[in-house]
Amino acid sequence: MTAPPVLDLTADAVTLTRQLVDIESVSKNEALIADAVQAALEALPHLTVARRGHTVVARTELGRGSRIVLAGHLDTVPVNDNLPSRLDAETGILHGLGTCDMKGGDAVILRIAATVPEPVHDVTFVLYEAEEIDSRFNGLRLLSESDPDLLEADFAVLMEPSNAVVEAGCQGTLRVEVRTRGERAHSARSWRGVNAIHAAAEVLDRLNSYAPRKPVIDGLEYHEGLNAVGIRGGVAGNVIPDECVVEVNFRFAPDRSEDEALAFVRDFFDGYDLTLTDSAPGALPGLDRPAAKAFVEAVGGSPNPKFGWTDVARFTVLGVPAVNYGPGDPMLAHTKEEHVPVADIERCEQQLRAWLEGREDDR
Amino acid sequence: MTAPPVLDLTADAVTLTRQLVDIESVSKNEALIADAVQAALEALPHLTVARRGHTVVARTELGRGSRIVLAGHLDTVPVNDNLPSRLDAETGILHGLGTCDMKGGDAVILRIAATVPEPVHDVTFVLYEAEEIDSRFNGLRLLSESDPDLLEADFAVLMEPSNAVVEAGCQGTLRVEVRTRGERAHSARSWRGVNAIHAAAEVLDRLNSYAPRKPVIDGLEYHEGLNAVGIRGGVAGNVIPDECVVEVNFRFAPDRSEDEALAFVRDFFDGYDLTLTDSAPGALPGLDRPAAKAFVEAVGGSPNPKFGWTDVARFTVLGVPAVNYGPGDPMLAHTKEEHVPVADIERCEQQLRAWLEGREDDR
């Protein structure tokens, strides 16, 4: 057993971010970082700590009339020559794997846990494993199934990178395979067969005719998208192909359920053989709820819609309104050049602190 | 060294076909069958025999005013649970790998070599290796380069399966990759990218609008074909793809050169990035030439155009008019169920004999 690194929760959030980044924690390798996080939180007498797999949950038990969740995942995508962390003091940019997605956010969570012992809402801090891989390993999902009571709350903030601006809700996503069929023949006598790739022209033509819906929900304009993300067909260079498969991804606004989204796609590709391969619901922004309203007012700025799918949808399924709010540009996530502005980390910590201490921040 | 099996050229052509079939000779494994063929031909005093690799050439040297070639390949596609040969006496069908493509034809060649010692034309018998694999191994190609004089002739008959009816010339074939390009983006924000698969719709639409040319050459109607034989595109299930490649096969009538065929395809896909990946010329039927005319008259029946590409094109390049004429249905070639009607083998032998003995067959 390697002794876990010791996290210093009295250090500033940027230093703490570096400590977290420098504990390599590619998905499925979160034991060490979870141990370190658990030890640091267990040292705080005002928190009750639980561990499930490599997911750590710490809660205040102050008997407040409301409870909020602050959640962040501990894992990263694979290392890509971007460890250890590197702070560019001149530009105020912290570089390295996980700086943006999302150890900057994790550091903010740990700093709040350590330094706001009497928040105005009870707080549940969730630091979880395996967000970057197949959802069957996702720590938040597993926790929501094994211990839903640990996630009970009036509101949740997921520290996904959002440029330190509230991104509300998320769009759903589903994937289907649209299949055309034909009949094989030697390509020297092509008229004896039926070309399944040629038949896919109509599928692509329909995609080209698609006009995205952009519904406005709680004042936020979402933006749907229906796209081929893959196509394959062909048997050999001298054979008329008898099958072509177009893989289509539908990103749908959170006012549609998964069933409604699938019905739309089925209707859109009416007449074709269609197989659902993947589906995840969206999450309504829920900005009309008092807890969300109060949060948005506290942290300031104009909320944006979240186009990508995030774990906020898991909270929605539990009946907990949730938003994305964290340091860093989501466009940098999963890139080799991943980085985060120090100012984003500082701003997120400051705004959350102001909110949970019940005071107006001097923004 | 294994002693080669002894071929009995005094046996009937069907028995001889079985002997050849039962010597397994998948491409690159023709040594044994070539040894057997060479030994059998060298035993015939009226022939001069040469060997190049596993290709055997035997020639009469009678000083006739004209020379013809009878050619067949000795190799087969891989074994597919279809050896040894099996004769169904009731239906008159001989089953097994190579029965159709093309040891029935090879047996006819060997029977003619053995039993027509004084043909009206000098004859060059060519039994060659590696027709079923990459053309750089093709024995006829290698021979045409190393010893073009051995292939000098006024006319050639290639014993490719053609249902014992003359199939004249052959269509050419070329393959191109037609490429569309786009710009990657996360599929949750698809409007930031350009979908290269969607752009391929126009490529497929053009293919669907294609009307095949069917030129009549020497009384034979050819039939061109332009077909997608493969399509590929896609980066990941959540990425707008930046490239899509459509692999297109053009089968062109022998009145076009390869250059003209490529020019047609370039024009057809005007505006697209196009890469030529493969090209082989067609062969004109040459039925207007006296030698061909005489052959067609001798063997009877109505010649058909050959749609597929065959080695007759190699003779054309050498300036030797050539036709396909052999037992068996070309549609059965390369199938597990490959077989040949005994009657086809007998008919081919009978007609060739009649032609080379200079008499009208009693058909």
What are the helix (H) ranges across A157-281?
196-209, 258-268
Which residue do the tokens 């990759």 mark? B177
Three-state DSSP state, B216: strand
Whether residue B70 is found in the same domain as residue B146: yes
pLDDT score, position B2 = 66
Write the DSSP assignment of B222-279 as a string of letters.
---EEEEEEEEEES-TTEE-SEEEEEEEEEE-TTS-HHHHHHHHHHHTTTSEEEEEEE
Q: For chain A, what is the mean pLDDT? A: 94
| Catalytic residue (one of A131, A154, A167, A329) | A131
How far apart are the CA of B139 and the nearest CA of chain A, in angstroms? 22
Which of A235, A253, A280 is where one domain is finished?
A: A280
Rounded Cα distance, B231 and B250, in Å: 15
Contact B90, B331 (CB under 8 A): no
The partner residues of A275 in beta bridges, in order of sequence, read A177
Q: At what angle do helices A13-21 and A342-357 cross, to 10 degrees?
A: 120
Residue at A260 is within a domain: yes
What is the residue type of B79? V
- Residue A24 bears catalytic tag: no
| Catalytic residue (one of B75, B101, B154, B160) | B75
Whether residue A188 is found in the same domain as residue A307: no
Whether residue A310 is found in the same domain as residue A349: yes
Whether residue B163 is found in the same domain as residue B201: no
CB contact under 8 A, B227 and A190: yes
Which of B221, B247, B280 is where one domain is finished?
A: B280
pLDDT score, position A360 = 55
Write the DSSP assignment of A47-76 as a string of letters.
-EEEEETTEEEEE-----S-EEEEEEE--B
Residue at B2 is within a domain: no
- Looking at the structure of chain B, the number of domains it has is 2
Residue at A47 is within a domain: yes
Residue at A3 is within a domain: no
Rounded Cα distance, A359 and A353, in Å: 9
Beta strands B122-128 and B67-73, pairing class: parallel
Whether residue A248 is found in the same domain as residue A164: no
**Strand ranges inside A96-200, DSSP E:** 122-128, 155-158, 167-168, 172-181, 185-186
Tell me: cis bond preceding A84? Omega within 30 of 0 counts: yes
How far apart are the CA of A205 and the nearest CA of chain B, in angstroms? 6
Sign of the alpha-carbon torsion through B31, B35, B41, B45:
positive
Whether residue A70 is found in the same domain as residue A205: no
Rounded Cα distance, B136 and A281, in Å: 56
Report the residue count for chain A: 363
Residue at A5 is within a domain: no
Contact B199, B180 (CB under 8 A): yes
Q: Convert the pLDDT of each residue in A24-39 to its tens digit.
A: 999 999 999 999 999 9
Whether residue A342 is found in the same domain as residue A312: yes
CB contact under 8 A, A228 and B195: yes
Whether residue B120 is found in the same domain as residue B59: yes
Which residue do the tokens 């008898």 mark? A242
Whether residue B255 is found in the same domain as residue B141: no
CB contact under 8 A, B204 and A207: no
What are the helix (H) ranges across chain A?
13-21, 31-42, 104-115, 139-146, 196-209, 258-268, 290-299, 312-317, 342-357
Indicate which CATH number applies to the domain containing B250: 3.30.70.360
Rounded Cα distance, B201 and A344, in Å: 43
Residue at B5 is within a domain: no
Residue range(s) defining the domain that contains residue A323: 13-169+283-362
Whether residue A135 is found in the same domain as residue A233: no
pLDDT score, position A315 = 92
Chain A residue whose CA is closest to B176: A237
pLDDT score, position A40 = 98
Which of B221, B255, B280 is where one domain is finished?
A: B280
- Residue B22 bears catalytic tag: no
Name the pTM for this structure: 0.83
> How many other CB atoms are found less than 10 A from the CB of residue A102?
30
Q: Convert the pLDDT of each residue in A130-168 to its tens digit.
A: 998 888 899 999 999 999 999 999 999 999 999 999 999
List the single best residue of A194, A198, A221, A252 to mutate versus B (max B Cβ within 10 A).
A198
Whether residue A341 is found in the same domain as residue A193: no
Across the interface, of A188, A198, A200, the residue whose CB is closest to B251 is A188
Chain B residue whose CA is closest to A207: B198
Contact A168, A287 (CB under 8 A): yes
Contact B273, B196 (CB under 8 A): no
Sign of the alpha-carbon torsion through A132, A137, A141, A143:
negative
CB contact under 8 A, A207 and B198: yes
Token pair in block for residue B238: 């959540």
The torsion defined by the Cα of A200, A203, A208 and A211, in degrees rounded to 10, comes to: -170
Closest by CA position to A313, among listed A279, A278, A282, A287:
A282
Residues of B within 8 A of A331 (CB-CB) are: 186
Whether residue A146 is found in the same domain as residue A274: no
Along chain B (363 residues), what's the average pLDDT of each consecutive run of 10 residues? 85 97 97 98 98 98 96 94 95 97 98 97 97 90 96 95 94 96 91 96 98 95 97 92 97 96 98 94 87 87 91 90 94 90 97 87 44
Residue at A94 is within a domain: yes
Along chain A (363 residues), what's the average pLDDT of each consecutive run of 10 residues? 85 97 97 98 98 98 96 94 95 97 98 97 97 90 96 95 94 97 91 96 98 95 97 92 97 96 98 95 87 87 91 91 94 91 97 87 44
Across the interface, of B175, B188, B239, the residue whose CB is closest to A251 is B188
Q: Convert the pLDDT of each residue in A50-63 to its tens digit.
A: 999 999 999 999 99
Residues of B within 8 A of A188 (CB-CB) are: 171, 173, 225, 251, 307-309
CB contact under 8 A, A227 and B251: no
ipTM summary value: 0.84
What are the contacts of A144-148 at 24+ separation with CB within 8 A? A144/A314, A144/A317, A144/A318, A146/A52, A147/A50, A147/A52, A147/A57, A148/A318
Indicate which CATH number applies to the domain containing A97: 3.40.630.10
Residue at A1 is within a domain: no
